[in-house]
Amino acid sequence: MIVRDKETIKINIPLFLLPPESREENILNIITFRHVKETETAKERISSLLERLKNKDIGWTEFSR
């Protein structure tokens, strides 16, 4: 049942993430936004780690440990 015209999706959120006084019948506003700079920083960090792994000389003896 749609309560409001703009209601388009229902999601399950763990109870511990909701305000303590929240109840089942409450309407909550949830705002999300992208962290463009943090995303780019993470991509660079992961790319660097992958490059280090590619260039690392791993012998078969290291796999048998």
> 7-61 pLDDT, tens per residue?
667 788 898 999 999 988 888 888 888 999 999 999 999 999 998 888 876 655 5
Inside any domain, residue 62 = no
For residue 46, give its domain range: 31-56
Half-sphere exposure for 40 (CA within 13 Å, toward CB): 2
Residue 9 lies in a domain: no
CA–CA separation, 11 and 32 (whole Å): 14
How far is residue 13's CA from residue 15's CA, in Å, rounded to a whole number? Answer: 6
**7 in a structural domain:** no
Residue 37 lies in a domain: yes
Residue 49 lies in a domain: yes
**Number of structural domains in the chain:** 1
DSSP secondary-structure letter at 5? T
Taking the whole predicted model, whether its pTM rises above 0.75 is answered as no
Evaluate whether residue 50 is within a structural domain: yes
Residue 48 lies in a domain: yes
Residue 46, in any domain of the structure: yes
Q: Is the pLDDT of residue 1 over 60?
A: no
- Report pLDDT for 18: 92
4 pLDDT more than 90? no
